[in-house]
Chain A
Amino acid sequence: MDMVARIKFLQSAIASQQITLRLLTTLAAILFLLGITMVILSFVSPGLILAETLKTVQTLGGIVIAASGFIPIFFSRRDRIVASRALLNSYQHRQVGGLSPDPKLDQYFDQYFDMVLGG
């Protein structure tokens, strides 16, 4: 795979990963806000969502939902995007002659390739 193809591959991969990242971040934000809202409402206006006798249960449920908001963050694989961008930047520098050819960069690319498409 030549350098142009690698750059194109990296750009496409980063674009797709960014969509995933945005989606999961949005989901995380929604869940977090939803959970916090439930917790606050259980104190401010008990009985609005669930029966007043279930105030404690509503608080606990809100905490669980807010905590669930962190799960998409763990699955967002931001490290891969960082790695992809680093590789893309390096290849783009090399393309414009800013970096001298380095076999280690290809080695990193192969490792990244294994990580992305491998098992």
Chain B
Amino acid sequence: MKVSTSLNPGDQLPVLLERIERREKSARLRGILYALLPVALTVVVLSYAQSSVRNAQKQVDDLKTEASTYTSQIDTLKKNTEDYKTQSQSMQGNAENFKSQVTELQAQLAETQKSLSEAVSLSRAVRTIDYANAKELASRFPGSESLLLDILDLGRRRIKWKPGGQSVQEGFDSPSFAAHILRQKRATGIEVRPGESLSEAGRSLYDKLPPTTQPKTGDLVFYSAGYAMFYFADPRDGNFVLGMTPFGVTALKSDFAKPAGYRQVQWR
């Protein structure tokens, strides 16, 4: 460019200076633009990253809240499960109790049925005793009148049937009643041991007394049902046994049940 040779300094200088100024401005803008371009790109990238992180953080917070809700729900369910477990265990315990109660009731029912059937069979074998003519009856058993009269006297007093009973007031079961009579009448071979109860004594009679196959009046007859009755040989109205039954002091036909054995009693 040969501008310098053709230009008149007086006319050209302001124009040249203006051109210089324009070029410098352009250079400044270019420099600023080129410098700020990567800065602007960096700012955009960083802003985008920051925005993404914020969104992700928000999502994480939402998920945390959701997780917290689920955790509390799980805790509640766990607590409910524990409660149900405890209730279930309690109900199982109750069921066991009911079961044992039912078993007990069944056993009682069976016992009652057994007692009822025994009572029915006993009632068929009852021998009615005319208490007004008790002495007449006793006269048939010479040597055992007082035994019969004493038993009948206790019968008149309506002594109750009481399994394991120990006294006249309390009542007796069949063996303990027999033991009571034997002690009262001081029969031999029935020594009272210290501390031995009447029911224990009654249970031991079968072992203590001598066995016999031909029972006489005043001997004891043991039945498999647990009865221990005094034997009376009555040739007129038939042999009978007298002792404590669930009906009280009762006379029964001697063959009301199959005897388990006879035991001889030595009266004084």
Q: Which residues of A contact B (CB under 8 A)?
A: 1-2, 4-6, 8-9, 12-13, 16-17, 19-20, 23-24, 27-28, 31, 50-51, 53-54, 57-58, 61, 64-65, 67-69, 71-72, 75-77, 106, 109-110, 113-114, 116-118
Contact = CB atoms under 8 A, between A and B. Distances in A.
B50 interface: yes
Contacts of A1: 4, 7-9, 12-13
Contact of A71 (B24, B35, B41): B35
A27 B9 contact: no
Contacts of A9: 13, 16-17, 20
A40 B1 CA distance: 51
Given A6-B9, A75-B30, A117-B19, 18 more contacts: A1-B8, A13-B20, A20-B28, A23-B31, A27-B32, A28-B35, A50-B46, A50-B53, A51-B50, A51-B53, A51-B57, A58-B46, A68-B38, A68-B39, A71-B31, A75-B31, A109-B4, A113-B3
B54 interface: yes
A54 B32 contact: no
B67 interface: no
20 contacts: A1-B12, A4-B9, A13-B20, A16-B24, A17-B24, A20-B28, A24-B35, A27-B35, A50-B50, A51-B50, A53-B53, A57-B49, A61-B42, A67-B38, A68-B42, A109-B4, A114-B1, A117-B1, A117-B3, A117-B16
Contacts of B38: 64-65, 67-68, 71
A82 B244 CA distance: 148
A113 B1 contact: yes
B24 A19 contact: yes
B24 A31 contact: no
Given A24-B31, A72-B32, A110-B2, A54 B46 contact: yes
B42 A65 contact: yes
Contacts of B27: 20, 75, 77
Contacts of B63: none
B206 to A, nearest CB: 97
Nearest to B32: A27
Contacts of B20: 9, 12-13, 16, 116-117
B158 interface: no
A67 B42 CA distance: 11
Contacts of B53: 50-51, 53-54
Nearest to B17: A12
B20 to A, nearest CB: 5
Contacts of B30: 75
A31 B39 contact: yes
Given A72-B35, A75-B31, A116 B23 contact: yes
Contacts of B19: 117
